[in-house]
């Protein structure tokens, strides 16, 4: 694979991948992290750690997009943008990331 130019589209594509990774981690679905650390599945803290890693990746990419003035917010709902701007992966983020859950409040 050759070198890809670092463009806004490149960052938005990486952001989309990170969002998918985080959402799969929230749903306890298989992610690349499972392949890297297969022995961790047996440990109770695994899913918390997996979510934390995915959240950190998402925050890193949104932070870079913000610094480069790339429009990252359009990939998220308003409440998801608010969570990302607060930067803390709280229980509220875990419980209400998906809009279908927010209707239950």
How many domains in the chain?
1
What predicted TM-score, i.e. pTM, was given to this entire model? 0.82
* 17 within a domain of the structure (yes/no): no
Please give the Cα distance from 61 to 63 (Å, whole number).
5
Lowest mean pLDDT among 2-11, 17-26, 51-60, 79-88: 2-11
Please give the Cα distance from 94 to 100 (Å, whole number).
13
* 6 within a domain of the structure (yes/no): no
- Containing domain of residue 90, as a range? 22-102
* 70 within a domain of the structure (yes/no): yes
Tens-digit pLDDT profile for residues 26-77: 988 878 777 777 777 777 788 888 899 999 999 999 999 999 999 999 999 9
What's the maximum distance between 2 C-alpha atoms anywhere in the chain?
A: 48
Q: Is the confidence at residue 105, as pLDDT, over 60?
A: no
* 27 within a domain of the structure (yes/no): yes
* 3 within a domain of the structure (yes/no): no
pLDDT, mean of residues 71-92: 95
Q: What is the mean pLDDT of the chain?
A: 87
* 96 within a domain of the structure (yes/no): yes
Taking alpha carbons only, the member of 55, 50, 56 closest to residue 33 is 50
* 12 within a domain of the structure (yes/no): no
Residue whose tokens read 């998918």: 20
Predicted local confidence at residue 30, as pLDDT: 79
Q: Specify whether the CB–CB gap between 83 and 27 falls below 8 A.
A: no
Residues in CB range of 64: below 8 A, 6 or more apart = 11
Lowest mean pLDDT among 16-20, 46-50, 86-90, 94-98: 46-50
């Amino acid at each position: 694979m050759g070198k890809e130019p670092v463009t806004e589209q490149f960052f938005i594509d990486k952001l989309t991948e990170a969002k998918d990774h985080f959402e799969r981690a929230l749903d306890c679905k298989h992610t690349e992290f499972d392949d890297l650390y297969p022995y961790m599945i047996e440990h109770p803290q695994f899913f918390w750690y997996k979510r934390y890693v995915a959240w950190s990746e998402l925050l890193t990419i949104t932070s870079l997009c913000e610094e480069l003035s790339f429009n990252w917010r359009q990939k998220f709902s308003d409440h998801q943008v608010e969570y990302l701007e607060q930067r803390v992966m709280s229980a509220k983020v875990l419980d209400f990331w998906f809009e279908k859950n927010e209707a239950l409040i």
